[in-house]
Amino acid sequence: MKIPKVKTEEESKARSVVWYLRDRWEAMADSRLILPMLLVLGFGLSFAIPQFNLVNPYIQIIIMYIGINIILATSLNIVNGYMGEFSVGHAGFMAVGAYVSSLLTLYVFPRSLVFLFFPLGVIAGGVVAALVSLIVAIPSFKTRGDYLAIITLAFNFIVKSIIENIDAIGGPRGIVGIDKLTTMPSVFFWTVLSLWVIRNFIHSNYGRGVLSIREDEVASRLMSVNTRQVKFLAFALSSFFAGVAGALFAHLLQFISPRVFDVLKSTDILVMVYLGGIGSIAGSILGATVYTALLEILRPLGMFRMVLMPLLLVFLMLYRPRGIMGLRELRWFVPIQDLKFVKRWRRKKEIADANSAS
Amino acid sequence: MYVIQQLINVLQLGSVYALIALGYTMVYGIIRLINFAHGDLFMVGAFISFVVAAYLKLPFIPTLLISIVAVAMLGVSIERLAYKPLRQAPRVSAVITALGVGLFLENLILLFYPYPRPVPTLLPKIVWNLGGISISFLQVLIIGLSLFLMLILDLIVRRTMVGMAMRAISWNKTIVPLMGVSVDKIISITFALGTGLGAVAGVMYSQAFPVIDPYMGILIGWQAFICAVVGGIGNIRGAMLGGYILAAVQIMVVAFLPSTYRDFVAFTLLLVILTFRPYGILGKPQAEKV
Amino acid sequence: MKKTLVISLVAMLTIMSMVLVGCKAAGALTIPIGVNAELTGDIPAVGASCQNAALMAAKEVNDAGGLDIGGKKYTIKLFIEDNGGKADQSASVTQKLISQDNVVAVIGPNASRYAIPASEIAESSKVMMISPWSTNPKLTIDSKTGQSKEYVFRACFTDSFQGQVVAKFAMDKLGAKKVAVLYDVASDYNKGIAEVFKATFESLGGQVVAFETYTTGDKDFSGQLTKIKQFSPDVIFLPNYYNEVPLQIQQAHRLGITATFLGSDSWGSEELIKLAGKEVEGDYFSTHYAPDIATPAAKTFINAYKTAYGSVPDDVAALTYDSFGLLFGALKAAGKVDRQAVRDALASIPHYEGVTGTLQFKEGSGDPIKSAVILQIKDGKFAYYATANP
């Protein structure tokens, strides 16, 4: 904290109030109970809102879209943000998850108990998406950067083209009449679950491997990081959650067709990730929320909405190229050991600076 | 006969892809940026030629020249306003900015022209019939003009000082200003050239397929990007090669297989090519300094 | 500092929009009607026509003093929203119109792929929805029960009907024995009609020699057309949008193909002639209404549209206008501005004379019983050729 120069009596009193408030905020925010409390509150709200119609159904849908987008953005952040790659085909994995889960709930699961089997369908969608991602991961080992972009882009087109040609699953007409099994509690549950898993992955040994690949792949291989295994895992995890998001999306919209999962959708997810901040879970949450909400908020502008949105995006990129959060992370998402380590390091630095100054 | 007719189709489509792919590859070669707004600049070129031909009623050559100049100026201004400030930033921020610029251009033109527009025909409609194969004057012009422009571009890059500067910047950007070359000026020239080529592609394309709409650049943009990468991004000859390869695959699949498989086969083939030649057919692996 | 700026900007926009949204016209009795149109996205031309016709329909009623329901005069208040050419936005827009703007009914979306998600929302919220232009049979059917949806209607005929009409026309009136089809594999509308056409034509004893496809956005059809040329078909069926057909016919002519071309209602815009010029002279297509044998009411509509917007209305505009006409009629018959009453009134309309022909809803169905017309392009204009009844 900077130590400001005191000018007058009133100023010094005002500043001490600010310090006091800041201290109290810091103390409160440091408490590791905040996040669990917020989660419980959120869980309760996710039941209360639809039950008592605390907000109108339109805003409820938007909240659910935001939840799904958060899952999409955070999962893409693993590969694009933390691993520093450039994957452009995320909507393809979403499509796989959506189709697999829809086919399961429509044709495989017993009709009367379908809402019990829904979580199974979602997981199945994610698993198949993860398996499919391995097909993409293999050519990606030899290439980096822009070449990976092509591979993932081609994959997106291929998935779309395959689905269009299989009439048994609807072809270009898509699948109609999917059950509306996605509710606000389920979206909340899956969002929290995916954020929790991804956050744990990032702060684990594999996560360190992912970060090291971003910084310098050759060096990390020299430091005995099994880059192949780490890449596989990162891709698979990222696609798993994309599949989960796809399944939730399909059961909310009650209709899916190949066109819904085209390059434009991938571009949307890409924008959410880079807008919020690469390499930051809070950033993905922020990016997904801001993007979805802003699109809705700007509706009164009519057709100018779609002219203004990209312009805002460009300006944001010019002033904050790494996204709103940049590479920083919200302290509640960082595990306690890392947090303590950073604090100790900062305090040491302060002392060292004070010593060298004096 | 049938095969030769399809081959002519390949040459025509491939020339258009090649022109656009060249724009991508030139910009990438010099500042390592995938300019996703390039497809939309192609669209703007087509629309400018439409406006000039329909309202000012000018013939072909002035329309083409005005379109090239206008799009080149637009390209250079976009570079100065949106890409230059991000030269030090991570590459992906510039890519997202490019996406944003592209979206902006599409929706801006949409405000004025939600309905697709017909482009006035500026070229004589002569069709030659040689033993069962029909070739039109337009097709010959597209192929000829594209090859001519590619040749000139190759000459510029290999034989002129400007070209030498471009190649130097693509190898090592930091040293070049020390040699007394203005990096900004060279980058602007590159953009002008690349987007100018895109404008030519736009005008020729809109003459061959005279219905234009604001979203025509998206699909072609992504396809041309793939051409550039398959040929080896940053490599001019690679871009030309990539353009013809993609056109060949797309048309030959339609010619001999059920046309529904076209996209599937084309993209799978691409993936296969990239698996065996990860840097593109003519690309050189970029040495990573350890 | 900059972060605070961003956050305060977003907060300001949020508050601004809430204020704008909360504002309602005070005083006069109003009927809120929602319009869900594709203003941006892949088919902005369709959304533009829909919006034009909607504004015109509302303006006509309001200029005449308002709609007379149960003795009181109501002004029409339109809530036009853009679904951006995205299925999820289409659903959220419908929900917004229903829950936030409290509309009595929703008109649109037009394309089936956006209308279907919207219809799910309308059905579960028990609010009436009329799609002017969506022809996919699945729109009005609840796929779980196989029964019709109660709250979803359309103002046009379905793909299955149209496909049969065109096939019969090709066989009987054009005397075609060999037919080729070129359609967009990525679009449900094109594919649906193409398939019904093929099935019907083959069941009538004809031969479909080529069934070629392309993907939306393609402009070069030379590969497919060269392939089709080899089979020398008598007729080529192109159930594609009016911005794609001119290119297809031009390229076919360039290759030396002399067959007659046949189309569906997606040809139904004057833009087709603007874009294709003489290339399309003499070809036929099926659609909802014929501008030259128009009833007096239709002629008034066409002239009013021309005066207001400078071009002849296409089928989307005409169908949207009819959707509004149906809605106004239902409101009057219901006698009150109530969602359920309006829906019941619409379902039981005995007979409606619209711009696009006579409409009547089948018992318990959202699909109207409606004839199609075959038009021929003669002297650069659409000319009536024949009627096809269901």
User: Are C278 and C304 within one domain?
Assistant: no
Q: Which of A77, A85, A161 to mutate to test the interface with B (most CBs of B within 10 A)?
A: A161
Q: Which of A146, A163, A227, A270 to mutate to test the interface with B (most CBs of B within 10 A)?
A: A146
CB C91 within 8 A of CB C106: no
Distance to chain A for C185, nearest Cα, Å: 7
Range of the domain at C357: 29-157+295-370
Q: pLDDT digit of tens for each residue in chain A (358 aa)?
A: 566 565 677 777 777 888 888 888 777 777 778 888 888 888 988 888 888 888 888 999 999 999 999 999 999 999 988 888 888 889 999 999 999 999 999 888 887 888 888 999 999 999 999 999 988 787 777 666 667 787 888 889 889 888 888 888 888 888 888 888 888 899 999 999 999 999 999 988 888 899 998 888 888 889 888 888 898 899 999 999 999 999 999 999 999 988 889 888 998 999 999 888 888 899 999 999 999 999 999 888 878 888 898 898 899 888 888 888 877 887 778 888 888 888 888 889 988 988 887 6
CB contact under 8 A, B219 and C254: no
Q: Please identify among residues 221-250 of chain B the ones whose CB lies closer than 8 Å to any CB of chain A.
A: 222, 225-226, 229-230, 233
Query: Quick check: is B287 in a domain?
Result: no
Q: Which two tokens stand for residue A348?
A: 């040491």
The domain that contains C352 carries what CATH number? 3.40.50.2300
For chain C, how many structural domains are there in total? 2
Query: Quick check: is B221 in a domain?
Result: yes
Chain B residue with Cα closest to C184: B260
Query: Quick check: is C304 in a domain?
Result: yes
**Which of A232, A230, A214, A212 is CA-nearest to residue A222?**
A212
Query: Quick check: is C386 in a domain?
Result: no
Last residue of a domain, one of C237, C252, C287: C287
User: Are C134 and C188 within one domain?
Assistant: no
Kindly compute the dihedral angle of the four CA atoms of residues B249, B254, B260, B263, in this order, to the nearest 10 degrees: 20
Range of the domain at B64: 2-227
Q: Partners for B (CB, 8 Å, 3+ pairs)?
A: A, C
Using a CB-CB cut-off of 8 Å, the residues of chain C touching A161 are 215
Q: Which of B96, B230, B275 to mutate to test the interface with A (most CBs of A within 10 A)?
A: B96
DSSP 8-state assignment for residue C42: S
User: Are C117 and C230 within one domain?
Assistant: no
Residue position matching structure tokens 């919220």: C125
CB contact under 8 A, B92 and A80: yes
User: d(Cα A102, Cα A261) in Å, to the nearest integer?
Assistant: 15
Q: Partners for C (CB, 8 Å, 3+ pairs)?
A: A, B
User: d(Cα C256, Cα C251) in Å, to the nearest integer?
Assistant: 9
CB A69 within 8 A of CB A272: yes
CB C341 within 8 A of CB C335: yes
Q: pLDDT digit of tens for each residue in chain B (290 aa)?
A: 678 888 888 898 899 899 999 888 888 888 888 888 999 999 999 999 999 988 888 888 889 999 999 999 999 999 999 999 888 887 778 888 998 999 999 999 988 888 888 888 888 877 787 777 778 888 888 899 888 998 898 899 889 999 889 888 888 888 888 888 888 999 999 999 999 999 999 999 888 888 888 888 888 888 888 888 888 877 888 888 999 999 998 888 888 887 777 888 888 888 788 778 877 788 776 655 55
Q: How many CB pairs under 8 A join A and C?
A: 107
Q: Pairing state of beta strands C352-354 and C357-359?
A: antiparallel
Query: Quick check: is C380 in a domain?
Result: no
Q: Please identify among residues 55-114 of chain B the ones whose CB lies closer than 8 Å to any CB of chain A.
A: 82, 85-86, 89-97, 99-104, 107-108, 110-111
Query: Quick check: is C275 in a domain?
Result: yes
Distance to chain C for A77, nearest Cα, Å: 21
Query: Quick check: is B274 in a domain?
Result: no
SS3 state of residue C74:
strand
**Which of B219, B260, B212 is CA-nearest to residue C182?**
B260
Query: Quick check: is B263 in a domain?
Result: no
In this structure, which amino acid lies at residue C49? S
Q: Report residue B43 CA to chain centroid gap.
A: 11
Distance to chain B for A290, nearest Cα, Å: 16
User: Are C228 and C305 within one domain?
Assistant: no
Query: Quick check: is C323 in a domain?
Result: yes
User: d(Cα A195, Cα A336) in Å, to the nearest integer?
Assistant: 17
Last residue of a domain, one of C287, C321, C347: C287
A31 CB near a chain B CB, below 8 Å? no
CB contact under 8 A, C92 and A176: no
User: Are C211 and C150 within one domain?
Assistant: no
For chain B, how many structural domains are there in total? 1
User: Are C322 and C251 within one domain?
Assistant: no
User: Would you list the DSSP string of B161-208?
Assistant: HHHHHHHHHHH-TTHHHHTT--HHHHHHHHHHHHHHHHHHHHHHHHHH
Among A80, A142, A303, the residue with its CB nearest the CB of B278 is A142
Query: Quick check: is C189 in a domain?
Result: yes
Last residue of a domain, one of C228, C261, C287: C287
CB contact under 8 A, B263 and A147: no
CB contact under 8 A, A253 and C14: no
Query: Quick check: is C382 in a domain?
Result: no
Query: Quick check: is C383 in a domain?
Result: no
User: Are C57 and C96 within one domain?
Assistant: yes
Other residues' Cβ atoms within 10 Å of the Cβ of residue A63: 20
- What residues contact residue C20 under an 8 Å CB cut-off, 6+ apart? A300
Distance to chain B for C47, nearest Cα, Å: 9
User: d(Cα A331, Cα A310) in Å, to the nearest integer?
Assistant: 31
Query: Quick check: is B27 in a domain?
Result: yes
ipTM over 0.85: no
User: Are C253 and C304 within one domain?
Assistant: no
Residue position matching structure tokens 């944001």: A316
Q: Which two tokens stand for residue C216?
A: 């939306």
Greatest CA separation for chain C: 76
Chain B residue with Cα closest to C229: B2
User: Are C171 and C234 within one domain?
Assistant: yes
Element (H, E) at C260: strand C260-263
Model confidence pLDDT, tens digit, residues C143-197: 778 888 889 999 888 888 888 888 988 888 888 889 999 998 877 788 888 999 9
The chain B residues in contact with chain C (CB within 8 A) are 2, 5-6, 9, 12-13, 107, 110, 114-118, 127, 129, 134, 136, 205, 209-211, 213-216, 218-219, 250-252, 254-255, 258-260, 262-263
